[in-house]
Structure 1
């Protein structure tokens, strides 16, 4: 994908700084969010069992529910526990073609999942042992591993605490609590 350069890059950077100055309030001046968190994010999968094995056995996210999709008979809807009351959901749609994932407006660029240091190291070791391609610390991002699930969903395993970005707290630690 071509990246802006020269004068075009200068415009992009100036616009970002303008937005930052206009809308980004210091943490101490921000109102609390109106949401309690992500209940679930739902993706489409090609193969239910393959998806369960990847998320439960490889990444260690327990499968917590598996039911029929209420909107499409014969379709399976299932959920994984990804911590702190958050769920990762999937649907299959038997009989439908599933084109490859593309990075486009309105699409998913990646889903970043917070993991601890031990889980990060274990995932990297498992990826290396399986000969699975990934982007990781060798590209200059020490705390990230970028992989794709069996459905092509781009994932980032991010060795960072929730609410922290580049070592800085960017949200109130009480956001979303009842």
Structure 2
């Protein structure tokens, strides 16, 4: 397999408008395209993250709950690279988004912390 990188990460939300506000207005991701699929009664929102990465935000009627804390089996978390972790944490807090205390990655010497999206999906900010 000759992989060039990630094409996108898909996230299913329980409250489309709340999650759209979070990812677009709080995290600042650019809307590429928004599609309403009447046959599925669902939205698909394509978001640009950074220069080339993307998140697909999906809404479905009554999606089942999923265990999502970082130590559960399956997808552990999504990590976003930032240049200034303290400024990012301060910004998130100003928007009402709480994060865990900043920690140091003992393997890389880089700082990181976790916060959650509206559906409690664990998200990480990692300082580069």
State the TM-score, normalized to the length of structure 2.
0.79
- Residues of 1 paired with 2:96 and 2:41: CA distance? 35
For 2:68, the equivalent position in structure 1 comes to 102
What is the count of residue pairs matched by the alignment? 122
- Residues of 2 paired with 1:79 and 1:122: CA distance? 26
Task: Give the 4+ runs in structure 1 shifted more than 6 A.
Answer: none
For 1:75, the equivalent position in structure 2 comes to 42
For 2:83, the equivalent position in structure 1 comes to 116
For 1:89, the equivalent position in structure 2 comes to 56
For 2:99, the equivalent position in structure 1 comes to 134
Q: Report which of the two has the higher share of helix.
A: 1
Note the residue ranges of structure 2 that are not aligned, 5 or more in a row. none
Mark the structure with the bigger radius of gyration.
1
Alpha carbon RMSD of aligned pairs, Å? 2.4
For 1:145, the equivalent position in structure 2 comes to 113
- Residues of 1 paired with 2:127 and 2:94: CA distance? 20
